Amino acid sequence: MTGPKIRVFVDQPLGPGQAVALDEARANYLFAVMRLGAGDAVHLFNGQDGEWRAEVAEAGRRRGIAVCADQTAPQGVPSDLWLLFSPVKKDRTNFIVEKAVELGAARLMPVSTRHMNSERLRTDKQQAHAVEAAEQCGATWVPVVEDLQPLDRLLAGWPEGRRLYWADEARAGAGGGWEAGSPGEPSAILIGPEGGFSDDERARLAARPFVTPVSLGPRILRAETAALAALTLWQARFGDWR
């Protein structure tokens, strides 16, 4: 095998000599799409046991078995960073989820807001996007995608000691905000819907002591651009890009 490493997330224990059952979706991907066969290598991770090189032992149409050989990466731990975002159009929401995984968010929390663009969010589909993104980017964990919940309820039960960076479109050009944070601090980033936050929501956010408004430059960024830019700046300052 040459070419990039083929990585698959499995929800099963991994360890020396461990046989791992591959379900229909994985069998289809590995054996039909990627054309692997018995004896070929595949890399497995489950979010707990690191990454393992495994050898395909059975390659069926609907199922397969791979047997773990050796650990190729230790289990990683994402930075303690949550992303709160308000669903936008489907493609752009998919994009937010994919990119948040690549950029190392630990938890993806869709929140409903007054001006949100979409009421519907298939958590299971978004979780599947997160798995694919983790397989592709080399992470050894998959961030959990939570069900949509009202922003106000989330704020009401906000955990002590976690800073919430609020990408506040009214701060365009005002600069900074990030200097309030520090590495290792439990953090979250809040991105609004395309229509922005309502005056009520803005007032309630501004009143919370754990909320830190941040600026993302002088132009009006789309929601997914704001999410990516904020995750990037946080990782470069406080996270695993340092």
CB of 137 to its own copies, least distance (A): 4
139 binds its own copies per the rule CB under 8 A:
yes
Got the DSSP string for 147-205? PPEEHHHHHHTPPTT-EEEEE-GGGTTS---GGG--TT--EEEEE--TT---HHHHHHH
74 binds its own copies per the rule CB under 8 A:
no
- Binding to its own copies, residues 212-231 (CB under 8 A): 215-222, 225, 228-229
Q: Which residue, 83 or 216, is less far from its own copies as judged by CB?
A: 216
Q: How far, in Å, CA of 43 to CA of 28, rounded?
A: 16
240 binds its own copies per the rule CB under 8 A:
yes
CB of 229 to its own copies, least distance (A): 4
Q: Which residue, 210 or 241, is less far from its own copies as judged by CB?
A: 241
Structure tokens at 7: 């990585």
96 binds its own copies per the rule CB under 8 A:
no
Among 226, 142, 225, 156, CA closest to 190: 226
Which region holds residue 81: left if phi is over 0, alpha if psi is between -120 and 50, else beta?
A: beta
List of residues contacting its own copies (CB under 8 A)? 91, 95, 98-99, 102-104, 136-139, 175, 215-222, 225, 228-229, 232-233, 235-236, 240-242
